[in-house]
Structure 1
Amino acid sequence: MNVAGLYSFAWRVAGRLPGSVVRGLCAVAADVTWLLRRGGVVQLEANYARVRPDLNAREVRRLGRVGMRSYMRYFGEAFTLRSLTPAQIDARVRATGVEAVQAALDEGQGLVLALGHLGNWDLAGAWATRNLAAVTTVAERLKPEELFQEFLAFRESIGLRILALGDGDVFRDLVRTARAGTVLIPLLADRDLTAKGIEVDLAGHRARVAAGPAALAVTAKAALLTTVITYERLHGERRRAAGSPWGIHIAFGPLIRPRDDLARADQVRALTQSWVDDLAEGIRQDPQDWHMLQKVFIADLDPARYAETLAQEASA
């Protein structure tokens, strides 16, 4: 299957279709995928069960279906985002906690945003570039290369500056960008199984997340904040202006600043656990919008492989 070709076709065609048709197709795709019970769906529901232990098996199963619809909604919106007008983008986004963010940007500060795979971060980025500040972020180099180039072209077309992992010293470039000020640097960080990840408590369970947001904040002496992005139903005038029954809520958390009284490694660990705590609360409130179809909790990992990861970390 030519995955890159399918994505390219979707980006070319989806924006020309009525929104209701795209949403309907995505809902069908979500339901079929959920019914097939492949590995990603099973893992999604296992993750939901950990963050919402109050739910029984049937409730987790129903949550899995809603979660798959949220996940496929993201793709439908990604394929049509370039066709939206600025007014439609603005109508689809509601932001809270933005006052502290705007005040810091007005002072010329660069801010590091720790994100999870929640809601529609591309829509959030397109809105932020218009209403807050320039956005620079990092993208994993997908395979095949044609697929990566499709995503790169898409995200650059909505105003984002993308640094590709593996192209030069990305971390150094991020540090320079943060120190230059008046910029937002959102980083998806709720999963990292490399030797550079940090083990944390996520919703009462051990998990491994990326050290990047905290390490960048400490190195660049920039403020760090958790950003939770979830879907919300639109009604009335806002729904008509958005051209969709769905919008997103961007919840900016409080600004967290590095502590100079701690060693660098301790600062990174403390900052990481802090943003993870805020993220966990957002996930608990809207678990269906957490698009985590991969293993993230330590208990789900292969013990031998995780031991190798820890050994690599110890020898680094």
Structure 2
Amino acid sequence: MREKLTEWGYLAAWRGVRLMPERSAAAMFRRFADRAWAKDGRSVRQLRRNLARVVDGEPDEELVRDALRSYARYWMEAFRLPSMSREALARNFEMNGYEPVAERAAEGKGSVVALPHSGNWDFAGAWVPQIAGNPLTTVAERLKPEGVFRRFVEYRESLGMTIVPASGGERNPQTLLGEALDAGHVVALVADRDLGRSGVEVKFFDEATTFPSGPALLAIRNNVPLFTAHIHYESDRAVCRITGPVDTGTGRLRERVASTTQAMADAFAEGIRAHPADWHMLQRFWAADFEPPPPAEPLDATEA
């Protein structure tokens, strides 16, 4: 029953928020963000720890509050996107650096574009097929409950994206994505969270973590360029900048995947450092956050 209630909650938000005037919806989600900031729950405290790595020190509370407001803005826009016109999409989203991707798409050649959880990545996913007119394929994390996963797939398909489940599908995701590249699709991958903690170890803001190997592996195996993108918010729009392609190197596959993934992480860090409030990372992220604390030192008898 709880899973059904969760699904109904998402469905109600998708239907209800888009019916509200935009200013009212924005104000409501801003209040949600400020309330979460004031409560300072576990996710907010984790966000603060993550931002401390980005800014190399304790983040000021204005940055933490702004980061929560940015995250709330993403959800407000996500609930409203299915009813947004092409004109409104073009007005609310600015794309920069897309030309080399577009040129390849015009020739029927695919490209991989990797990006972190910053700004509104669904805007980019909608802009490519609706405004640029290029087919886009992406991967969807299999959420629980299953009904919510299906709703998210339907939501992104309604924006013009082709969705490949990250797990539980009938065929291997890498195979399906390779076929999409062969068909000239833009394959967009949000790639700063390694959900299985089994990816490629990288240095990210001078500290160890792991990134998924998928973008590098896909680009190398299919001999296509890997571009990176970063999205941030300005007052009236989301802005995306595409850079690259990343040098995928030569030699052994394992070494190429490792160096390419590190280069991708470095590109992500540059964008996040410039716009830290728009990085939506409220989960544990760095390797040290997953390690148990060291055992306490035994008490010296002379100090007892």
Is the TM-score greater than 0.5? yes
Residue 195 of structure 1, CA deviation = 5.2
CA distance in 1 between counterparts of 2:208 and 2:291 reads 14
Which string of whole-angstrom CA distances, capped at 9 and with x for unpartnered residues, describes residues 58-113 of structure 1? x1x22111000000100000111112110000111111112222222223221111
Residue 125, structure 1, aligned to residue 125, structure 2: yes
Among 261, 267, 289, the residue aligned to 1:278: 267
What is the identity, as a one-letter code, of the residue corresponding to 2:36? T
User: Unaligned 5+ residue runs, structure 1?
Assistant: 235-246, 305-316
Residue 303 of structure 1, CA deviation = 4.2
CA distance in 2 between counterparts of 1:163 and 1:177 reads 10
Q: Superposition pairs for residues 41-190 of structure 1, below 5 Å?
A: 41-53=44-56, 55-57=57-59, 59=60, 61-132=61-132, 133-165=134-166, 166-168=168-170, 169-181=172-184, 183-190=185-192
CA distance in 2 between counterparts of 1:123 and 1:4 reads 23
Q: Which residue of 1 is the match for residue 244 of structure 2?
A: 254
User: Unaligned 5+ residue runs, structure 2?
Assistant: 294-304
Q: Is the 8 A contact 1:138 1:163 kept in 2?
A: yes
Residue 136 of structure 1, CA deviation = 0.4
Q: Is the 8 A contact 1:193 1:208 kept in 2?
A: no
Q: What SS is found at the alignment partner of 2:267?
A: helix
Among 29, 33, 37, the residue aligned to 1:30: 33
Q: What SS is found at the alignment partner of 1:136?
A: strand
Which string of whole-angstrom CA distances, capped at 9 and with x for unpartnered residues, describes residues 253-310 of structure 1? 1112533x31111111111111111110000000100000111111211249xxxxxx
CA distance in 2 between counterparts of 1:213 and 1:303 reads 30
What is the identity, as a one-letter code, of the residue corresponding to 2:123? L
The 1:173–1:48 alpha-carbon spacing in structure 2 relative to 1, beyond 3 Å, is: same
What is the identity, as a one-letter code, of the residue corresponding to 1:264? L
CA distance in 2 between counterparts of 1:153 and 1:279 reads 28
CA distance in 2 between counterparts of 1:140 and 1:157 reads 17
Tell me how large the CA RMSD over aligned residues is. 1.5
Which string of whole-angstrom CA distances, capped at 9 and with x for unpartnered residues, describes residues 159-207 of structure 1? 11111122021111111111222x1111111011425311101121111
Among 256, 279, 287, the residue aligned to 1:267: 256
What is the identity, as a one-letter code, of the residue corresponding to 1:167? G
CA distance in 2 between counterparts of 1:103 and 1:185 reads 15
What is the identity, as a one-letter code, of the residue corresponding to 1:192? D
Which string of whole-angstrom CA distances, capped at 9 and with x for unpartnered residues, describes residues 127-160 of structure 1? 1112331110000111111111111111111111
Matched residues, percent identical? 36
CA distance in 1 between counterparts of 2:259 and 2:44 reads 32
How many matched pairs? 287
Residue 6 of structure 1, CA deviation = 0.8
CA distance in 2 between counterparts of 1:257 and 1:279 reads 15
TM-score, normalised to structure 2's length?
0.91
Q: Superposition pairs for residues 3-18 of structure 1, below 5 Å?
A: 3-18=6-21
Q: What SS is found at the alignment partner of 2:129?
A: helix
Residue 220 of structure 1, CA deviation = 1.0
Larger Rg: 2
What is the identity, as a one-letter code, of the residue corresponding to 2:12? F
Residue 219 of structure 1, CA deviation = 1.1
CA distance in 2 between counterparts of 1:152 and 1:66 reads 29
Report the more deviating stretch, 192-201 or 138-147. 192-201
Among 231, 244, 256, the residue aligned to 2:233: 231
Q: Is the 8 A contact 1:179 1:222 kept in 2?
A: no
Q: Is the 8 A contact 1:100 1:255 kept in 2?
A: no
Q: Is the 8 A contact 1:112 1:187 kept in 2?
A: yes
Q: Which residue of 2 is the match for residue 238 of structure 1?
A: none
Q: Is the 8 A contact 2:225 2:245 kept in 1?
A: yes
Q: Which residue of 2 is the match for residue 194 of structure 1?
A: 196
The 1:167–1:21 alpha-carbon spacing in structure 2 relative to 1, beyond 3 Å, is: same
Residue 115 of structure 1, CA deviation = 1.2
TM-score, normalised to structure 1's length?
0.87
Q: What SS is found at the alignment partner of 2:9?
A: helix
